[in-house]
């Protein structure tokens, strides 16, 4: 989208209860109200990992861009969005037709892309927590094995070493992969 200066560049994002949201669009997590230059987001979308809220905000922001394009200079994309906005099916009466509309397809694709990225970030954060916890345990176990120097404790060292050898070898390999890829495998 090319900004040509013909429209206001500010919008409001307003978080509302699901009850209030249902007055604007039954069951919706968000909506863009063109006349108010406002995006309403249900507080319900804030629950969980944040992916739902990110998806909803991205989805509605695409509608803002589409509306601006639809009302902008003549172009193929302008006609596509203008026709889509003015021939939009009612989501309650024709949900399948509503979802096939180009404005909804584009907005859903953008929202899904953003929520997928949020989920991937959350997964990576969880992997890092797991990595650091297991790394600390690994370091502690390794120090315990190496600390057994007394010859009379060699038997203890051998037992301890054999118990942890497989775990330590596996973790060492996982640490290397994580440090190379950023993914805990």
Q: What's the domain range around 56? A: 12-118
Q: What is the mean pLDDT of each run of 10 residues along the chain (185 residues)?
A: 50 87 81 86 84 89 87 84 85 84 88 84 76 79 69 63 68 74 65
pLDDT digits (tens, 9 = 90+) for 70-84: 888 788 888 888 888
Q: Do residues 90 and 161 both lie within one domain?
A: no
What is residue 31's three-state secondary structure? strand
CB count in 10 Å sphere of residue 42: 25
Q: Do residues 109 and 144 both lie within one domain?
A: no
Strand partners, 31: 40
Q: Is the pTM of this model over 0.75?
A: no
Is 4 inside a domain boundary?
A: no
Query: How far is residue 161's CA from residue 115's CA, in Å, rounded to a whole number?
Result: 44
> pLDDT at position 3, please?
41
Q: Which of 18, 58, 14 is nearest to 39 (CA)?
A: 14
Q: Do residues 93 and 128 both lie within one domain?
A: no
Q: Do residues 16 and 71 both lie within one domain?
A: yes
Q: Which two tokens stand for residue 174?
A: 């996982």
Q: How many CA atoms lie within 13 A of 53 on its CB side?
A: 14
Q: Are 69 and 102 in contact (CB under 8 A)?
A: no
> pLDDT at position 52, please?
86
Q: How many domains does the chain have?
A: 2
Q: Do residues 91 and 144 both lie within one domain?
A: no
Q: Do residues 62 and 97 both lie within one domain?
A: yes
Q: At 16, give phi and psi (nearest 5°).
A: -130, 165
Is 3 inside a domain boundary?
A: no
For residue 94, give the CATH number of its domain.
3.30.2010
Q: Do residues 25 and 94 both lie within one domain?
A: yes
* Domain end among 118, 133, 167: 118
> pLDDT at position 116, please?
85
Q: Are 140 and 167 in contact (CB under 8 A)?
A: no
> pLDDT at position 150, please?
61
Q: Do residues 113 and 128 both lie within one domain?
A: no
Bridging pattern class, strands 38-42 and 12-16:
parallel
């Amino acid at each position: 989208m090319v900004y040509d200066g013909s429209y206001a560049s500010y919008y409001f994002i307003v978080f509302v209860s699901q009850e209030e949201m249902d007055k604007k669009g039954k069951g919706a997590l968000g909506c863009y109200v063109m006349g108010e230059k406002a995006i309403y987001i249900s507080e319900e979308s804030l629950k969980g990992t944040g992916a739902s809220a990110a998806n909803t905000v991205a989805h509605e922001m695409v509608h803002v861009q589409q509306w601006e394009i639809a009302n902008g200079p003549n172009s193929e994309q302008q006609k596509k969005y203008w026709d889509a906005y003015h021939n939009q099916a009612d989501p309650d009466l024709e949900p399948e037709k509503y979802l096939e509309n180009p404005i909804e397809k584009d907005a859903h694709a953008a929202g899904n892309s953003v929520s997928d990225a949020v989920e991937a970030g959350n997964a990576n954060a969880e992997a890092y927590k797991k990595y650091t916890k297991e790394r600390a345990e690994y370091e502690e176990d390794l120090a315990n094995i190496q600390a057994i120097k007394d010859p009379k404790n060699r038997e203890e060292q051998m037992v301890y070493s054999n118990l942890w050898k497989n775990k330590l070898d596996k973790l060492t390999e996982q640490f290397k992969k994580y440090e190379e890829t950023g993914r805990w495998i």
